[in-house]
Amino acid sequence: DGYTDTPPPQRSRLSITLSEVLHDRMALLYFSQFVELRGYSLLLNLWLDLQVLRGQSLNGAGDGVGERTCGLRSVSDSVTPLTRQKVCQRYLTEDLVQRYRFPEDLCARFEAAKQETADDPAFQQLQDFVYQTMRRELWHDFLRSEFFSKFQVEVLTSGGVTLSDILYHSAALNAFTEFLDQEGCRSVVEFWLTATAFQSQLRPDSDPTASQNEAINIYDKYLSLQATCPLGVDDVTRCEVEHRICVEDAAPRNDCLEPALRKAWAYLRYVCLPLFLSSQSYVQLISELMRASRANSSPASSVTDVSVESRGRYDPDLIWRQRNQNRGLSIGRIDQLGRFETDIEPEPDKKSESRITRVVKKLVNKDEQKAQEEMAWRVAEMIVKDVTNLTMGGHTEDEET
């Protein structure tokens, strides 16, 4: 009792939009791999460079919005400022205009413009056209691809999972609800879902009687002293909710349940979420996403691993994630999970597995041993990160800042 956190915006990184992908470094890396496989890399790079031009126009050369938020650049990789002329020479060639069906009049107006400004209508129209083309030709297929599934797995295993990530994604919410049911706390998340849905539907012209009756039903079920699914809120919170519901000759306030919602949110965030993230239900959720990734994979996808040379400048950590690379004389490497991978085949009758490796393998089913072992290592990495943060005195930022 006593939590007073305000719920954050309604979004989950697991249900990311195209606009959010274009401004999220990690998501953009997976999307760029998919785009490369489909042969639309130049289209994505054009959008990114137009974003850099926009930033240079608004903030001055070398301090572009696109450079800060997107994390990927193409023509603009040089130290000299990106110009409209460079964009035209790179992207608006006759072959590419025909390939991507750019409106010729729009390209001509963009190229002929004299001012390097984002306020130019041709500038915005060209960027909007590129965005809509990617949305039409690529986005829905990306959401069904292995790249999107891998992005979701990385979100869930990289640390920093928020309550919003869970509550605003259907599969994660189902797993969370089942876990809370086992822990005897299902009524908390059910109240939060019911109350937020009710408040979002309240309008100034809503029928006062019907709205008040619905609010009273929610109050009676979860908050009153005779509640059938009591949340155990304090008297002050209960009285405040009653005051906001019982408005004479008017519909209840659109924040009538907010005092109880804040306490429910804080309880879910600080008590329930940490337990869920260390539970078997959470491991199962990750496992399902990994199975979806394998189901959506194709032989052609193996060519989409971008080389260190092309991606290393955007994500230096990728240098250490490469596997089976021919690097001259080498007996092995250390992967991102701290495992040693040998380039030398062991003798057939020699046991090469460490004790820790054998323990991890015992935790998984034999039918899906390889995939489940990888998942177990990722979960182990996540636990090690949490322990390290505690023992080394580290602390994370507030999840909703």
Q: What is the pLDDT of residues 174-222, one digit of tens each?
A: 999 999 999 999 999 999 999 999 988 888 788 888 988 999 999 999 9
Of 182-191, 228-237, 270-279, 346-355, the least confident = 346-355
Q: Does residue 96 sit in the same domain as residue 133?
A: yes
Does residue 347 lie within any of the structural domains? no
State the residue range of the domain holding 215.
Answer: 184-245
Q: Does residue 99 sit in the same domain as residue 189?
A: no
Q: Does residue 24 sit in the same domain as residue 133?
A: yes
Residue 375 is classified by DSSP as H
Does residue 7 lie within any of the structural domains? no
Does residue 241 lie within any of the structural domains? yes
Q: Does residue 190 sit in the same domain as residue 89?
A: no
Q: Does residue 194 sit in the same domain as residue 130?
A: no
CA distance 278 to 262: 24
CA distance 394 to 160: 13
Q: Who contacts 320 (Cβ-Cβ below 8 Å, separation ≥6)?
A: 334, 335, 336
Q: Check: CB of residue 355 under 8 Å from CB of residue 343.
A: no
Specify the pLDDT at position 134.
Answer: 95
| Amino acid letter, residue 154 | E
Q: Who contacts 219 (Cβ-Cβ below 8 Å, separation ≥6)?
A: 241, 242, 245, 257
Specify the pLDDT at position 320.
Answer: 42
Q: What is the DSSP track for 238-297?
A: HHHHHHHH--TTSPPPTTTTHHHHHHHHHHIIIIIHHHHHTSHHHHHHHHHHHHHHHHH-
Q: Assess whether pLDDT exceeds 80 at residue 394.
A: no
- Per the structure, the count of domains in the chain is 2
Nearest to 106 by CA among 94, 124, 89, 119: 124
What is the band of 370 on the pLDDT scale with cuts at 50, 70, 90? low
Report how far apart, in Å, the C-alpha atoms of 124 and of each of 60, 76, 334 are. 18, 18, 46
Q: Check: CB of residue 193 under 8 Å from CB of residue 201.
A: no
Q: Assess whether pLDDT exceeds 70 at residue 115.
A: no
Q: Check: CB of residue 314 under 8 Å from CB of residue 306.
A: no
Does residue 150 lie within any of the structural domains? yes
Q: Does residue 222 sit in the same domain as residue 135?
A: no
Here the CATH number for the domain that contains residue 108 is 1.10.167
Q: pLDDT tens across 329-345, in order?
A: 445 656 655 555 665 55
Sign (positive/negative) of CA torsion 273, 277, 279, 280? positive
Q: Which helix (H) or strand (E) holds 342?
A: strand 340-342
Q: What percent of the chain has pLDDT over 90?
A: 40
Specify the pLDDT at position 28.
Answer: 95
Q: Who contacts 318 (Cβ-Cβ below 8 Å, separation ≥6)?
A: 308, 311, 312
Report how far apart, in Å, the C-alpha atoms of 51 and of each of 23, 81, 108, 118, 126 are. 10, 13, 19, 9, 11
Q: Which helix (H) or strand (E) holds 140?
A: helix 140-143
Q: Is 395 left (phi over 0), alpha (psi -120 to 50) or beta?
A: beta
At residue 368, the 3 state secondary structure works out as helix
Does residue 29 lie within any of the structural domains? yes
The residue with tokens 């750019």 is: 102
Q: Who contacts 138 (Cβ-Cβ below 8 Å, separation ≥6)?
A: 34, 35, 38, 40
Q: Does residue 24 sit in the same domain as residue 96?
A: yes
Q: Does the global pTM surpass 0.75?
A: no
Specify the pLDDT at position 190.
Answer: 96
| Amino acid letter, residue 386 | D
CA distance 34 to 238: 51
What is the end-to-end Cα distance of the chain in Å, rounded?
23
Q: Does residue 135 sit in the same domain as residue 204?
A: no
67 φ, ψ (degrees, to nearest 5): -65, -35
Q: Does residue 35 sit in the same domain as residue 126?
A: yes
Q: Does residue 139 sit in the same domain as residue 217?
A: no
Specify the pLDDT at position 209.
Answer: 87
Q: Check: CB of residue 34 under 8 Å from CB of residue 304.
A: yes
Does residue 34 lie within any of the structural domains? yes
Q: Does residue 211 sit in the same domain as residue 85?
A: no
Here the CATH number for the domain that contains residue 199 is 1.10.167.10
Does residue 127 lie within any of the structural domains? yes
Q: What percent of the chain has pLDDT over 70?
A: 64
What is the band of 385 on the pLDDT scale with cuts at 50, 70, 90? low
Residue 332 is classified by DSSP as E
| Amino acid letter, residue 350 | K
Among 175, 210, 245, which residue terminates a domain?
245
CA distance 257 to 214: 12
Does residue 401 lie within any of the structural domains? no
Residue 341 is classified by DSSP as E
Q: Does residue 25 sit in the same domain as residue 127?
A: yes
